[in-house]
Amino acid sequence: MAQLREQFGLNRPLVEQYLSWIHGLVTFDPGNSYISHAPIGPQISDRLQVTLWLVGTGMVIACIVAIPMGMVMAVRHRRPSGLILSALSQIGVAVPAFLAGILLITVFAVGLGWLPANGWTPPVEDPVLFLKQLVLPALSLGVVQGAVLTRYVRSAVLDVLREDYLRTARAKGLRPTQALLRHGLRNAAVPVVTVLALQLATLLVGAVVIERVFVIPGLGSLLLDSVSNRDLILVQDVVMIIATAVLLVNFLVDIIYLLIDPRLRVGAS
Amino acid sequence: MRHTRRPVRGAGTLAATLACLLLAGCSAGSTASGGTGKNALNIGLTAEPANFDFTKTEGAAISQALLNNVYENLVKLDQSGKIRPQLATSWTLSKDRETYTFHLVKNARFSNGAPFTAKDAAFSIGRVKSDWTIAQKAQMDVVDTARAVSPTELKVTLKRPSNDWLYRMTTRVGAMFSRTGVDKLATEPVGTGPYVVKKWNRGDSITLARRHDYWGRKPHFASVTLKYFKDPTAMNNALLTGTINVIGTMQSPDSLYRFANNPKYKVIEGTTNGEVVLSLNNGSGPLKNPKVRQAVRYAIDHKALMDTCWAGRGKLIGSMVPPTDPWYQNLTNAYPYNRGKARKLLEESGQAGRTLRLRLPTLPYATACGTVVKSQLEQAGFKVELDQLEFPAAWLTTVFKNADYDMSIIGHVEPRDMQAVFGSKTSYTRYDSPEFRALLKKADQGTQQEQITSMRAAARLLSKDAAADWLFLLPNLMVANKDITGLPVNTVSESLDLTGLGRS
């Protein structure tokens, strides 16, 4: 017991333990797992890359779905086409990612046999197989996230449409769509980007589930496994990395604000 | 006010897309899901090893992956359960049945380049006592000395005659290690077997690669990937979509119909060593009382249970012996299903109001059968509280190590494991019977006929004492692509032996 305490450094003061852990993380040497005895660093970086691909592609799909669809919904919010899209997005919001995943597997993998039902291959090893394996999990993450994002795009664009400067632009002779694209989008983008950053956290959580459904060795499944194995040090490190990722994205978003809206730059100075 | 100094068309979209791309990253991963092509095989399995060190880590998953494939023993079991040569070409037993002399192969090498000699064999046997920490290490206690007479001759002297010892040499405790290759057992196993561990993607798969310098007959597949699935449906889908070629252990027998009538697949159904045991804590709690244990046995309708939770596949055994062992006997009638009797026994015991904690490992058969056990027991007047523990870590610590439970359900897949599970007071079942231990001892030291008679008596005693309830024997259910050959019908050892597999 004393030997174990010595080995894990539990006999040292708490502050020292904490600092040595932080030092390990910062110098990319987080130590060895309690359970597998394997170094944690390479495990986490491998898994992180997998999850970045998954979450990143999911985000891209979400944007591709949400931005045009939200705009159309806003512009046509009183017409049947807008209402139908609105209803569709509501269904999307209601469907959990894992259900979308199971449906996609049932239809496209098992039913039609177009794509593999699960597994993961890194892009350097086999780019074609990588893409094939990425499609379904990224879609199930992206479509569901996209549906949520659509609602925000819609309301952001609707708000902008009511602004005076758009009426002025219309008065100058621009058609509604033209006016929106030239003057409205930049303003509508600020709240949307905020939501996007907030959604990243949701997406990481969604990835935990999706990684399980599609048997993908990502950060989420690593977290789940280490929680179930009581591999405390791994859990600590993974949670820290996810938290850092969320902070980093929020920081990036702040920079993006400035790029989108020059007025914020003036306000800051 | 001027609005159109410069065109900003799509700036929002651009920014949003940029954010997305930033998140996407451009790194190349280094995890793979195994090889492809004609020389590669992908097998789907359930429980992933926590590490590769079966000298210090309990559970059957490591032996399943490594034994016979990465590690070899002096002797191995063949498909019919007979002991055959592996690293030993032959062996003799002295007249007093206490000294074994093994003659070893000359040209075997470890994967780290070191030659395999009798010194390594003596080292490996000695190391079980000094360094191993798992429960099975006790099986080597009977060894007095193991010494190398020459590089190819090993003498092992036992403290007393033991029928069981040579058999144990076919299991993990008999694995041969290199004197220069035991530093990193948990991550880099070194053995004399035809495969080496090439890659381990934790949480996903283990890839074994065929060795070029293997001393024996080369196996057919150059690369075998063991892919681990937590979810039976995902495993079935993987076979249906070609990600794996073999389902090594079918965990959802009710979905067999998807493969049974499909000419692309073949279904194999045999028996295993896996007794699915409703373990009872004989040492503390309400189940210390034999009447309560007997009541449990009467309360369970085994046929109905197996039909409900394992689609009727498997075999009812009634004790701790699978039909592939020489001392098998049908003991299913010891406690025939009788709810009234169960109720009565429970009343008599005075423990009727107590709640039993049924602590299940998160394994498909355990969770599937747990709810049925709970409802059957409750119908007989028990109070059952169901509780799931993550397998392996949490279950091993709470139930197996600390015996903090009243009941559990676990498949004991280790071969001939009556001794390991019930033979010692410190085992998690906490079954303590001098009479039982005497029978086991007699079986071990006597002639072969005495061994069979005493083992039968021991199994009957276990059953009579209601030391546990034996729900059923796990079937060896495998599904494979039609062209995969050499798959075993019955599982007789704890290893998934890849050396005999091929493609037609």
Domain that holds residue A70: 45-268
- Which among A124, A169, A200 has CB closest to B3? A169
In tens, the pLDDT along A218-259 reads 888 888 878 877 778 788 888 888 888 888 888 888 888 888
The answer as to whether A2 is a domain residue is no
The owner of tokens 């009812």 is B316
Q: B241 and A113 in contact by Cβ < 8 A?
A: yes
List the one residue out of A214, A207, A65 whose CA is nearest residue A150.
A65
Q: A222 and B203 in contact by Cβ < 8 A?
A: yes
A191 vs B: CB within 8 A: no
B26 vs A: CB within 8 A: no
- Please tell me the distance from the alpha carbon of residue B295 to that of residue B270, in angstroms, as a whole number: 31
The neighbour count for residue B401, using CB atoms within 10 Å, is: 12
B12 vs A: CB within 8 A: yes
Burial B227-248 (b: 16+ CB within 10 A, else e): bbbbbbbbbbbbbbbebbbbbb
Tell me the chain B residues in contact with residue A188 when contact means C-beta distances shorter than 8 Å: 12
- Please tell me the distance from the alpha carbon of residue A104 to that of residue A43, in angstroms, as a whole number: 29
- Which among A124, A197, A260 has CB closest to B12? A260
pLDDT at site B19:
42
B481 vs A: CB within 8 A: no
Helix (H) / strand (E) element for B153: namely: strand B153-158
Which tokens sit at B212? 């070029």
pLDDT at site B32:
37
List the one residue out of B162, B136, B158 whose CA is nearest residue B145.
B158
Whether the predicted pLDDT of A41 surpasses 80: no
The answer as to whether A13 is a domain residue is no
B149 vs A: CB within 8 A: no
List the one residue out of A147, A145, A123 whose CA is nearest residue A134.
A123
Between strands B265-280 and B468-481, the pairing is antiparallel
- What is the tally of structural domains in chain A? 1
Tell me the chain B residues in contact with residue A104 when contact means C-beta distances shorter than 8 Å: none
pLDDT at site A7:
64
Which tokens sit at B279? 């373990």
- Which among B22, B229, B237 has CB closest to A105? B237
pLDDT at site B26:
33
C-alpha pair distances (Å), B66 with each of A151, B186, B496, B497, B498: 53, 12, 8, 9, 10
CATH number at residue A142: 1.10.3720.10
Residue A178 near residue B5 (C-beta atoms within 8 A): no
List the 92-111 stretch of A: residues with Cβ below 8 A of B: 105, 109-110
Q: What is the DSSP string of B288-307?
A: GSHHHHHHHHHH--HHHHHH
Q: A109 and B1 in contact by Cβ < 8 A?
A: no
In tens, the pLDDT along A11-30 reads 777 777 777 777 777 776 66
Interface test with A, best of B241, B244, B396 (most A CBs within 10 A): B241
3-class DSSP assignment, residue B135: helix
A214 vs B: CB within 8 A: yes
List the 90-129 stretch of B: residues with Cβ below 8 A of A: none
| H-state helical runs in A172-231 | 176-179, 185-213, 219-228
Q: A117 and B241 in contact by Cβ < 8 A?
A: yes
B201, closest residue in chain A (CA to CA): A217
B133 vs A: CB within 8 A: no
Burial class (CB in 10 A: 0-12, 13-18, 19+), A59: buried
pLDDT at site B11:
43
Q: B243 and A116 in contact by Cβ < 8 A?
A: yes
pLDDT at site B37:
62
B241 vs A: CB within 8 A: yes
The answer as to whether A233 is a domain residue is yes
A220, closest residue in chain B (CA to CA): B203
A188 vs B: CB within 8 A: yes
* ipTM here: 0.72
Tell me the chain B residues in contact with residue A36 when contact means C-beta distances shorter than 8 Å: 50-51, 186-187, 202
Burial class (CB in 10 A: 0-12, 13-18, 19+), A163: middle
The answer as to whether A162 is a domain residue is yes
Of all residues in chain A, the percent with pLDDT exceeding 90 is: 0
- Is the full-model pTM beyond 0.80? no
- Which among A122, A183, A229 has CB closest to B393? A229
Give the sign of the dihedral formed by CA B158, CA B162, CA B166, CA B170: negative
Q: How confident is the model at residue A4 (pLDDT cuts 50, 70, 90)?
A: low
The answer as to whether A23 is a domain residue is no
- Please tell me the distance from the alpha carbon of residue B83 to that of residue B196, in angstroms, as a whole number: 24
- A80 or B375, higher pLDDT: B375
Q: What's CA B222's distance to the chain center, in Å?
A: 25
Whether the predicted pLDDT of A170 surpasses 80: no
pLDDT at site B36:
54
Q: Output the tens digit of pLDDT for each of chain B's 504 residues.
A: 444 444 434 444 444 444 443 333 333 333 334 445 678 999 999 888 888 999 988 878 999 999 999 999 999 998 888 899 999 999 999 988 899 999 999 999 999 999 999 999 999 999 999 999 988 888 899 999 999 999 999 999 999 999 999 999 999 999 999 999 888 898 899 999 999 999 988 878 999 999 999 999 999 999 999 999 888 888 998 998 888 999 998 888 888 888 988 999 999 999 998 999 999 999 999 999 999 999 999 999 999 999 999 889 999 999 999 998 999 999 999 999 999 999 999 999 988 888 999 999 988 889 989 999 999 999 999 999 999 998 877 898 899 999 999 999 999 988 898 998 999 889 999 999 999 999 999 999 988 899 999 999 999 999 999 999 999 999 999 999 999 999 989 988 889 999 999 998
pLDDT at site A8:
63
Whether the predicted pLDDT of A45 surpasses 50: yes
B49, closest residue in chain A (CA to CA): A36
Helix (H) / strand (E) element for B210: namely: strand B205-210
The answer as to whether A55 is a domain residue is yes
- Please tell me the distance from the alpha carbon of residue A76 to that of residue A32, in angstroms, as a whole number: 57
pLDDT at site B81:
80
- Please tell me the distance from the alpha carbon of residue B317 to that of residue B469, in angstroms, as a whole number: 10
In tens, the pLDDT along A87-116 reads 888 887 777 777 888 888 878 877 887 877
- Which among A43, A49, A63 has CB closest to B16? A63
Phi, psi of B391 (to 5 degrees): -105, 140
The answer as to whether A91 is a domain residue is yes
List the 26-55 stretch of A: residues with Cβ below 8 A of B: 35-38, 43, 46-47, 49-50, 52-53, 55
Q: A36 and B186 in contact by Cβ < 8 A?
A: yes
A200 vs B: CB within 8 A: yes
Whether the predicted pLDDT of A141 surpasses 80: yes
- Which among A46, A118, A185 has CB closest to B29? A46
Q: B204 and A215 in contact by Cβ < 8 A?
A: yes
Burial B268-290 (b: 16+ CB within 10 A, else e): bbbbbbbbbbbbbbbbebbbebe
The owner of tokens 């030659």 is B115
The answer as to whether A189 is a domain residue is yes
Interface test with A, best of B23, B53, B243 (most A CBs within 10 A): B23
Which tokens sit at B396? 């091993």
| H-state helical runs in A105-184 | 127-161, 164-171, 176-179
Q: A229 and B10 in contact by Cβ < 8 A?
A: no
Tell me the chain B residues in contact with residue A49 when contact means C-beta distances shorter than 8 Å: 25, 27-31
Give the distance from residue B75's alpha carbon to the nearest chain A alpha carbon, in angstroms: 29
- Which among B3, B230, B390 has CB closest to A212? B230
- Please tell me the distance from the alpha carbon of residue B352 to that of residue B348, in angstroms, as a whole number: 8
Q: B15 and A215 in contact by Cβ < 8 A?
A: no
Residue A82 near residue A72 (C-beta atoms within 8 A): yes
Which tokens sit at B491? 């599982």
